[in-house]
Amino acid sequence: MQWYSIGAFTFPSSWGGLAAAFVVTGLFLWLYYGKSNGEWFGNSVFWFIVTWKFSVILFDFSGFLQQPLTALYFNGGSKGFWLGMTVALVYIYFKGGQQVISAWLLVVLVYEGASEFLADSGSVLSAVNSLIGFSLFYLLLKKGKEEIWLSIFIVIQLLVNFLQGSIASAESTAYIVVTIAVLSISRLRRDFHE
């Protein structure tokens, strides 16, 4: 994993990929679908980051009491990540726009591409994966049937992770769990409105 520094702030390439995914997806939703879609996405990202960052207080309360500034320098780790993801998904269920599936697909696409670029680990497999992913994203936008295209994309993404030897990673687990949640949210909201 590569590390980057901006002034005194040092961060791993995966954080850069996540930041790029959030910014690009938010801009896309705002420009393509309108301001209100950019708002719900931005708010869900905000709640994810705030929950993940400050969950260190919840998971290491005694350490926080001894050194309150730890909340500024540390995050909740993997437990905080999943807590933040849960908070964001609950927010999306209640306040999310209709483009939840396309937003998740674009987050994964940009995250993968930016992470590969920042980690300097680009390969032919990664390039083919990105090409297939953006083709599926285009089909999702033009042909509809979002659930089918998202399912195909995630299966391909997991296959690539398997070929790269990272199928049991937290990244793959997040893809599976969040995809199931996004598909469920989409289905529940559609059934509720019918």
Q: Are 57 and 50 in contact (CB under 8 A)?
A: no
Mean pLDDT value across residues 165-188: 83
> Structural domain boundaries of the chain?
19-84, 98-194
Among 30, 22, 35, smallest CA distance to 106 is for: 22
**Residue 164 scores a pLDDT above 80:** no
Q: Provide CB contacts within 8 A for 67, sequence distance 6+.
A: none
Q: Label residue 91 by pLDDT band (50, 70, 90).
A: very high
CA distance 184 to 177: 11
pLDDT score recorded for residue 41: 92
User: How crowded is residue 27: how many other Cβ atoms within 10 Å of its Cβ?
Assistant: 12
pLDDT score recorded for residue 55: 93
Q: Which residue type, as a one-letter code, is found at position 43?
A: N
CA distance 184 to 104: 13
At 120-136, the pLDDT tens digits run 666 666 677 777 777 87
CA distance 146 to 83: 26
CA distance 184 to 175: 14
**Residue 144 scores a pLDDT above 90:** no
Q: Label residue 193 by pLDDT band (50, 70, 90).
A: low
Structure tokens at 178: 């969040």
Mean pLDDT value across residues 18-41: 88
Q: Are 84 and 51 in contact (CB under 8 A)?
A: yes
Mean pLDDT value across residues 40-45: 92
Mean pLDDT value across residues 77-99: 89
Q: Which residue type, as a one-letter code, is found at position 171?
A: E
Q: Between residues 186 and 194, which one has the greater pLDDT?
A: 186
